[in-house]
């Protein structure tokens, strides 16, 4: 079962990582100034991860495949790691789809 881990960056911003059941990070959020915004981001990931059209499949400047998960308004709510192949990126997307909707929240900022 997946989980969202909320942490605080050195600059004081909150962020979350979606981790798969094996503990691997499969999606990382932007920084949020308030924890409430971070929690809304998690809810947005849970909602939007069930819609394949919300996954923007990208390629980095050094030719590594990755993806962004976007909200209905087009804003990026999470970014994947860089993958070695397109197939690995697709597996990452499937992992987000499978883990996000039922993931628990582990708040490590309290």
Indicate whether 1 pLDDT > 90.
no
Q: What pTM was estimated for this model as a whole? A: 0.94
Question: Which H, E and C letters describe 51-101, residue by residue?
Answer: CHHHEEEEECCCCCEEEEEECCCCCEEEECCCCCCHHHHHHHHHHHHHHHH
Q: Give the rounded percent of residues in the chain with a pLDDT score beyond 90.
A: 98
Nearest by Cα to 83 from 5, 24, 14: 24
pLDDT tens digit string along 64-82? 999 999 999 999 999 999 9
Query: Quick one: pLDDT at residue 45?
Result: 98
Indicate whether 110 pLDDT > 80.
no
Query: Quick one: pLDDT at residue 86?
Result: 98
CA distance linking residue 87 with residue 79, whole number of Å: 17
Nearest by Cα to 49 from 23, 22, 16, 82: 16
CA distance linking residue 62 with residue 64, whole number of Å: 6
Q: Give the rounded percent of residues in the chain with a pLDDT score beyond 70.
A: 100
């Amino acid at each position: 079962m997946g989980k969202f881990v909320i942490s605080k960056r050195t600059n004081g911003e909150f962020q979350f990582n979606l981790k798969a059941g094996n503990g691997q990070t499969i999606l990382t959020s932007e920084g949020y100034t308030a924890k409430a915004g971070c929690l809304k981001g998690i809810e947005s990931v849970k909602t939007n991860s069930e819609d394949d059209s919300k996954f923007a499949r990208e390629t980095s400047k050094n030719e590594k495949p990755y993806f962004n998960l976007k909200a209905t308004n087009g804003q990026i709510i999470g970014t994947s790691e860089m993958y070695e192949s397109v197939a690995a990126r697709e597996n990452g997307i499937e992992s987000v789809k499978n883990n996000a909707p039922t993931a628990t929240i582990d708040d490590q900022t309290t």
